[in-house]
Copies of this chain bind each other. A is one copy, B any other.
């Protein structure tokens, strides 16, 4: 299917269930997709950071996209990440995920290599030139050392290079600059990657949300999105605050683990406790949650009425 322009609503970054052997558990993956579709989400984002794309081999990445697009049969738009360090490697991922059926690709600024702003712009231009489907930029300065500036996003959007932005920077003022700067481009999708500010991001003109926590509580985020669209701001705020409280589960393993592995471990543990996936394993070298930490995740789910 072709990507809606703009893409709106809730587009969860889908976790990648793994077996105890570290291989993709396709059955669990499809159950997770069904769980999200049943909740009414508006699209799916595969191979993002929440999908553990940084850990998946090229073969595993391909398998994920093929399994999901085959299963969905065009029911919902599917974005796929092409996460790698620089252009030549990213172009290979774009070719692979679009061959496997992705309707849009999500590309991050170059990392590891230390490049300048002109080279970052060139990276996105080359990606768009090579991609048979629309390209969205991914701003994730907690993972890579550079922030994507609103100015650059607006310029690339105006030039037809970027079809959208997934902004996981936490910088809502910068997101606002993108929203107002692309208002004259009716197809541009401004998506927040925040779990905690969806109401605020939509209120200032954002089109949708890509919250990792939507794996755990997709109904919550769909409800939040619908309340925001209907202009029921106070009810939206209450739902958002409930989700903020639930989000506390990502800190269960923090300190002992990193911020990334703590969040991924908590999401997968919650999906396991909710009976959606068969095994909570995260990819190597991430360490699993301890029993006490699993209990704390359970407590969060109980408080949120999700168990």
Which residues of A are interface residues toward B (Cβ below 8 A)?
22, 49, 52, 54-58, 60, 83, 85-89, 92, 110-116, 118-120, 122-123, 126, 142-145, 170-173, 176-177, 180, 194, 196-197, 199-200, 203-205, 233, 237, 241, 244, 255-261, 283-287
Contacts and interface: CB of A to CB of B under 8 A. Distances in A.
Contact of A88 (B55, B116, B177): B55
Given A119-B287, A203-B203, A285-B126, A112 B83 contact: yes
Given A115-B257, A119-B287, A180 B244 contact: yes
Given A52-B113, A116-B287, 5 more contacts: A54-B85, A118-B287, A172-B172, A173-B244, A180-B241
Contact of A196 (B92, B173, B244): B173
A143 B122 contact: no
A116 B289 CA distance: 13
Contact of A284 (B88, B197, B203): B88
Contacts of A284: 86-88, 122-123, 126
Given A113-B260, A114-B259, A122-B284, A237 B204 contact: yes
A57 B237 CA distance: 45
Contact of A285 (B57, B115, B145, B197): B115
8 contacts: A56-B89, A60-B88, A86-B284, A87-B285, A114-B260, A120-B285, A122-B284, A172-B200
Q: Which 8 A-B pairs give the minimum distances between C-beta atoms?
A: A114-B260, A122-B285, A115-B258, A123-B285, A173-B196, A87-B284, A116-B258, A54-B85
A285 B110 contact: yes
Nearest to A237: B204
B112 A54 contact: yes
Counting every copy of the chain, the complex holds 4
A86 B116 contact: no
Nearest to A236: B203
Given A122-B285, A170-B171, A287-B119, A114 B87 contact: no
A287 B170 contact: no
Nearest to A283: B88
A110 B176 CA distance: 32
A143 B86 CA distance: 13
A69 to B, nearest CB: 23
A147 to B, nearest CB: 11
Contacts of A60: 88
A92 B283 CA distance: 14
Given A88-B55, A88-B57, A119-B258, A112 B110 contact: no
A272 B204 CA distance: 32
Given A55-B88, A126-B285, A244-B180, A113 B261 contact: yes
